[in-house]
A and B are shown apart, each in its own frame.
Chain A
């Protein structure tokens, strides 16, 4: 009953004209950048962070969240029509989605994506509403030792679930933690790693790092590879799917939704991992798997339901524990701190309108996405025809102004150039930048909690293993690490990520 009461409160917040407008703007922008390959939700959210400063906190978070799950939706359109992942989470959708389009079933593929995403999004919304309160209650019992162990687990999980080399990913996390220490030490007031530069006394801005490592580096690498893309279908017709096709796809949608909801909660999880796992599972359990890769509707339905539910479920650890589980959630931490909201279990009790308003807006946003995507598909197809040579200068302009406006500071723009260079080096060395960003955000929190935990235990490091919750979390982290180190699992893992380009 309390759940219904809370959801009603959330709906009453989410359906105000202003919030509906920002929700719509968020999902529209999300779809737009999702459709366009070469720009993802991460730089977009980073770019809009300073803009949200002027908005009320609820409206800001509703809009930013809309960009994230809207992008999952838009990415599939590009995957189906152009055989290019508009977003990394749509990589697997390319396989069967494009084949469906080649057989003249592009409309059906787009429809099943819309239905699947809506079901996935709805389920994830209900799950956040149901799971968040008990989790937040548990989190209130956490002391500094538990928080430290939880962050260790989160970072390890991010490494294990990410693609590529484990050693390099751990290195990137440590490098991120080190970068996070630039600025004034909160305990002693001492300047660390500022090298006498006054602009660094507040640390490097999150937006600067995200823009440099993600947006700039990606543009540079895209430009290195010559060649232009071609669109497969000019006109998309036949959106209606038959009842038989729907019943064929429904079990896949439900499995994808469930998988996405679970994997989305995990630290390091989120949309991309969920989509990948869902496709693999579908292929494994199918009685007749011969059609996979040739345009099987299940190969589109499962991953697209999973990436939507995964994207939304990844808000759970952020809103209940205050711990971002992926790089985008790390940006949401930034968005919340801009508005003086400390992410964590107290959000729900201190700001119930904010929490439930955000949850309810996700469901409304999903509804808007169905409307945006199906009848307006022709517009998105046109957008795909804009050549990259016109697109990237525009992206650069918005990034530059976005970076400048965080602190109205030219120094930040110049620093971004340095991070752009670093990001390009990382791409060349095949070092994933996402763990670095996660380390950057979690680093200061980790140091703070480590200090407090050891202060309480009078310098006794055993405090992390004698407290039961902390010990369990650390044990899980060790299990995960051992699992990756085992050769059998390692070979499976490479296999799982072999189709995924960096």
Chain B
């Protein structure tokens, strides 16, 4: 890893090359047009190229300049928080607002290093109650409160 002296810049550069290059490649399928009459492909190609070029210069610079290393203290919060939101999204249309909220709070709470099981259960019930009162009755949000298959 001694070749990459500035890992943060290096990987940011790689990300920009991937985004810009990828965007540019996809945009090749759209008509280019001329400067006076631009097609839908003109602007994305230009921006994508610019982004990729900038990424490349970041990568090259990262080989010369020294920088801090990347740090990943723990991946637990990342996985649990994103998984809990995903669960909420997937569950919402079949399980309804109350169950989805309880699931979200219960799972997400486990991401904290101060996790307490009973407390998170109480928090889940309290939040679910609040959400139903505020969003279903207060703001008239169009979500099923309980599983529509059972109570539809």
- Residues of A that sit less than 8 Å from B by CB: 51, 54, 165, 167-168, 170-171, 174-175, 177-178, 181, 185, 187-188, 190, 192-193, 216, 219-220, 223-226, 228, 387-390, 392-394, 396-397, 400-401, 404-405, 408, 410, 413-414, 416-417, 420-421, 424-425, 428-431, 443, 447, 450-451, 454-455, 457-459, 461
By secondary structure, the A interface counts as helix
**Does B133 touch A at the CB level, under 8 Å?**
no
**Across the interface, do B43 and A181 meet the contact criterion of CB distance under 8 Å?**
yes
- Select one of B78, B113, B127 contacting A220, CB under 8 A: B78
By secondary structure, the B interface counts as helix
A397 touching B23 in the complex, CB below 8 Å, given contacts A389-B114, A429-B15: no
**Across the interface, do A429 and B81 meet the contact criterion of CB distance under 8 Å?**
no
Shortest CB distance B125–A (Å): 12
**Across the interface, do A175 and B30 meet the contact criterion of CB distance under 8 Å?**
no
**Across the interface, do B54 and A224 meet the contact criterion of CB distance under 8 Å?**
no
Taken together as a complex, chains A and B put the C-alpha atoms of A255 and B35 apart, in Å, by 48
- Select one of B85, B120, B127, B143 contacting A417, CB under 8 A: B85
Shortest CB distance B11–A (Å): 6
10 A-B pairs in the complex with CB atoms less than 8 angstroms apart: A175-B20, A190-B40, A390-B123, A393-B104, A400-B85, A400-B89, A414-B89, A420-B85, A428-B72, A454-B35
User: Which residues of the other chain, B, contact A389 by a CB distance below 8 angstroms?
Assistant: 109, 112, 114-116, 119
Taken together as a complex, chains A and B put the C-alpha atoms of A326 and B39 apart, in Å, by 30
Besides A167-B57, A168-B58, A400-B88, 20 new A-B residue pairs in contact (Cβ under 8 A), listed by A number? A174-B47, A175-B51, A177-B47, A220-B81, A223-B77, A225-B73, A393-B109, A396-B81, A396-B104, A396-B105, A408-B142, A408-B143, A413-B88, A421-B78, A429-B8, A429-B15, A430-B8, A431-B12, A451-B43, A454-B36
By the criterion of a CB under 8 Å from any partner CB, how many residues of chain B are at the interface? 72
**Across the interface, do B92 and A404 meet the contact criterion of CB distance under 8 Å?**
yes
Taken together as a complex, chains A and B put the C-alpha atoms of A167 and B85 apart, in Å, by 33
Which residues 54-85 of B sit at the A interface, judged by CB distance below 8 A?
Answer: 54-55, 57-58, 61, 70-74, 76-78, 81-82, 84-85
**Across the interface, do B139 and A51 meet the contact criterion of CB distance under 8 Å?**
yes
Shortest CB distance A431–B (Å): 6
The residue in chain B whose Cβ has the minimal distance to the Cβ of A170 is: B54
User: Which residues of the other chain, B, contact A219 by a CB distance below 8 angstroms?
Assistant: 77, 81
User: Which residues of the other chain, B, contact A54 by a CB distance below 8 angstroms?
Assistant: 139
**Across the interface, do B142 and A410 meet the contact criterion of CB distance under 8 Å?**
no
